[in-house]
């Protein structure tokens, strides 16, 4: 990479340190020693981004909060022939690139669209005819072969599959004694909150007290729908003595510290995670934490690949409980294998790999 390399990262939903928008940008910035990475994000993220290594804040108008700011920014960059990355792309972004390129006569080869999942929603299907230019010229980027295959099947000509960018700890993790069960990140139904609530309820009846940490807030859960709110109320009222329900969103240091000695519970829904990377599970393995995941998902495939935990075929509290007992019965072995996984994954998911592709195109693979 040379000093004149420039890339605009577009993510209007980035506004705080929590979540994987921030982790994605931080990871790329950590390797941007010979490139300029500008970030188009919510103005509330400006101070955080200013402290982040390797990135600059894009203050060019329109800023997030202005009418159609994201789409006007994509149009501006496409017309100028600049390189830019949409961090969370779907058919709307592909259509915006296509329509701008068609009206301006520009070849949108500098557009990079990162697809975390196949663009197959009803809205994606409705907009599909308007994406022909992006499918022909833009670089479609993803981190799983299943998504890559889907994109190729839709007619995307330039598709690359690169491991999701992630930063492991400065020193490789070593096995540590078991401390607690952990449902890391904000608890959600598609991530198995109902299974964890059922597990806690069953264990309360059995008189068990294995420490269980869950990041959950009744107020936040209610905003995500009646069903999720009911599950949170059930969890908090079940009387499980080992439960630690934390309503606060941890900063990055606290979030990562929770993985030490943890057995991470990730019984995620197959429908969403069959082809989608889980940043939380990747963080867990990078920090040497064994994981219980659902078979047939990306997290489950990583667990099975390294023997760094256990997988469940049936998503029930009983299956989850049995998997916990299996891992705890040989904690030293699972912990050691998770630490071995950390070493391999740190190399595979080095952000430099993705950054090279974003700056130089698919020829950098």
Cβ proximity of 161 and 142 under 8 Å: yes
Helix axes 279-286, 331-348, angle to 10 degrees: 110
The CATH architecture assigned to 180-347 reads 3-Layer(aba) Sandwich (3.40)
What would the two tokens of residue 182 be?
Answer: 């952990």
In words, the CATH class of domain 5-165+350-364 is alpha beta
Residue position matching structure tokens 């935990």: 309
Asked if domains 5-165+350-364 and 180-347 share a fold, the reply is yes
> According to the model, what pLDDT value does residue 4 have?
58
> According to the model, what pLDDT value does residue 361 have?
87
Q: In a 3-state reduction of DSSP, which class is residue 189?
A: helix
Q: Which string of b and e fits 64-75 if b means at least 16 CB within 10 Å?
A: beeeebbbebbb
Instruction: Compute mean pLDDT per 10 residues along the chain, 365 residues long, and list them.
Output: 77 89 95 94 96 95 95 97 97 98 95 97 98 98 96 98 95 97 90 97 97 82 74 93 89 92 98 92 98 98 98 98 99 98 97 96 75
Domain boundaries, the chain: 5-165+350-364, 180-347
What would the two tokens of residue 240 be?
Answer: 């499980």
Instruction: Say how many Å lie between the first and final Cα of the chain, rounded.
Output: 13
Q: In a 3-state reduction of DSSP, which class is residue 30?
A: coil
Give the gyration radius of the chain's Cα atoms. Answer: 21
> According to the model, what pLDDT value does residue 3 have?
47
> According to the model, what pLDDT value does residue 1 have?
43
Cβ proximity of 153 and 189 under 8 Å: no
**Cβ contacts of 315 within 8 Å, gap of 6 or more:** 192, 195, 267, 269, 294
Name the residue among 110, 160, 156 with its Cα closest to residue 132: 156
Name the residue among 74, 46, 76, 72 with its Cα closest to residue 59: 46
């Amino acid at each position: 990479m040379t000093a004149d390399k420039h890339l605009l990262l577009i993510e209007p939903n980035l506004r705080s340190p929590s979540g994987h928008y921030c982790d994605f940008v931080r990871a790329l910035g950590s390797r941007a020693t010979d490139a300029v990475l500008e970030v188009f994000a919510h103005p509330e993220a400006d101070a955080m981004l200013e402290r982040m290594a390797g990135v600059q804040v894009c203050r060019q108008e329109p800023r997030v909060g202005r009418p159609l700011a994201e789409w006007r920014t994509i149009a501006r960059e496409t017309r100028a022939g600049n390189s830019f990355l949409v961090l969370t792309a779907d058919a709307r972004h592909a259509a915006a690139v296509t329509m701008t390129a068609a009206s301006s006569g520009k070849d949108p080869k500098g557009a990079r669209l990162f697809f975390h999942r196949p663009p197959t929603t009803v809205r994606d299907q409705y907009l599909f005819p308007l994406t022909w230019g992006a499918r022909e010229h833009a670089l479609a980027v993803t981190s799983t072969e299943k998504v890559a295959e889907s994109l190729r099947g839709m007619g995307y000509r330039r598709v690359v599959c690169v491991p999701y960018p992630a930063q492991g700890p400065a020193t490789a993790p070593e096995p540590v004694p078991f401390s607690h069960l952990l449902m890391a990140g904000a608890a959600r139904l598609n991530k198995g909150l109902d299974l964890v609530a059922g597990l806690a309820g069953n264990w309360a009846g059995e008189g068990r007290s294995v420490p269980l940490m869950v990041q959950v807030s009744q107020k936040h859960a209610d905003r995500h729908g009646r069903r999720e709110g009911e599950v949170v109320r059930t969890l908090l009222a079940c009387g499980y003595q080992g439960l630690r329900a934390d309503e606060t969103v941890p900063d990055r240091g606290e979030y990562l510290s929770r993985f030490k000695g943890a057995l991470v519970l990730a019984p995620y829904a197959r429908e969403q995670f069959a082809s989608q990377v889980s940043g939380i599970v990747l963080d867990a393995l990078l920090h040497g934490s064994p994981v219980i995941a659902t078979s047939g998902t990306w997290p489950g495939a990583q667990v099975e690949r390294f023997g760094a935990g256990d997988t469940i075929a049936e998503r029930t509290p009983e299956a989850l409980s049995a998997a916990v007992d299996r891992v705890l019965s040989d904690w030293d072995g699972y912990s050691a294998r998770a630490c071995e996984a950390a070493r391999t994954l740190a190399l595979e998911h080095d952000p430099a790999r993705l950054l090279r592709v974003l700056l130089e195109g698919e020829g950098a693979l």
